[in-house]
Amino acid sequence: MQKTLKKSFEINDIGLHSGNMVRMVVKPAGANAGIIFIRTDVSDRNNVIPALWDNVVDTRLCTVIGNEAGVTVGTIEHLMAALRGCGIDNAIVELDAPEVPVMDGSSAAFVEAIDAAGILDQDTKRKAIRVLKEVSVEKDGKRVTLSPSEDSVFKGKIVYSHPVIGTQEHAMQLVNGNFRHELADARTFGLMRDVEAMRAAGLALGGSLDNAVVLDDDKVLNKDGLRHDDEFIRHKLLDAIGDLYLAGAPILGAYDGQCAGHAMNNDILHALFADDSNWESIDMQDVMATSEKSKLETAIA
């Protein structure tokens, strides 16, 4: 069944790029509503933006969605990942600023708020998008592939020259709420020299050691170090889960991101939906029933 929140929750924190305080209220929504963002500080034009792949307008530093009126909301990926990881199908996200609060640079605070608000079952079947054929996008040696799978699987690899990061790989099946303990606390990261350059350009004004893993040329600058030895690839997969939830429903398929980021995550959704033979919309209960039947037949055999 579809799920929403039992009650609303409010979060107040700074925006990563503006450095200004943001008030965000996440509310329950009716069945089949999906995830909807509303800019409460905009009253002179349409301020509603459905969280969908074809509403993405920028992917350079984060994922930004917008509507035809030019109203945008950025840095949505960590919240979207938390909603996907907690199984929330329908929610209204109200913001009084053009970006989601950054918190500690991960999804952990959003997951905690969702769990505290509670999750409500709705009397409507949950839809999923099943990948039927492999689709892939590749650019500048980077690649993202979606391939058929009866589960939601996320696999990734990154390669950095930085000695602390190096080459990292991680893979997981998104099931039974394991997002909470495997990926949710993995923070965004960057090099100090890049942060300084962005600030000089008027970006990342809210960035600090409180909301990102920051590295100099040979070490992590955060006093408490890393939360996982491979926190960097875990965060990349967190981003991918949030970006792919812009499909409008959970994807049943295997994601493989090789040195990928927000742009290619959106590109793969464009590639998937470019051909109706690549995918189908199905009821999750039908998939679960088929899976249980298969397990029973295997056990009997």
Q: Which residue, 85, 126, 121, 113, is CA-closest to 4?
A: 121
Distance between CA atoms of residues 12 and 3, nearest Å: 24
Please compute Rg for the chain using Cα positions.
19
- Looking at residue 199, what is its pLDDT? 82
CATH number of the domain residue 118 falls in: 3.30.1700.10
Rounded to an integer, the average pLDDT of 203-232 is 93
Structural domain span for residue 98 = 3-300
Average pLDDT, stretch 156-160?
97
In angstroms, the CA 227 to CA 230 distance is: 8
Q: How many domains does the chain have?
A: 1
| pLDDT tens by residue, 122-150 | 999 999 999 999 999 999 999 999 999 99
pTM of the full predicted structure?
0.94
**Candidate list 17, 78, 235, 262, residue with the active-site label:** 262
Task: Dump pLDDT digits (tens) for 67-100.
Answer: 999 999 999 999 999 999 999 999 999 999 999 9
Whole-number percent of the chain with pLDDT over 70? 95
**270 noted as active-site residue:** no
The distance in angstroms from the start CA to the end CA of the chain is 31
54-60-63 Cα angle (round to 5): 45
Per-residue pLDDT tens for 23-58? 999 999 999 999 999 999 999 999 999 999 999 999
> What is the distance between the alpha carbons of residues 272 and 147, in angstroms, rounded to a whole number?
10
Asked if 231 contacts 213 with a C-beta cutoff of 8 angstroms, the reply is yes
Q: Answer for the pair 104, 211: CB distance below 8 angstroms, yes or no.
A: yes
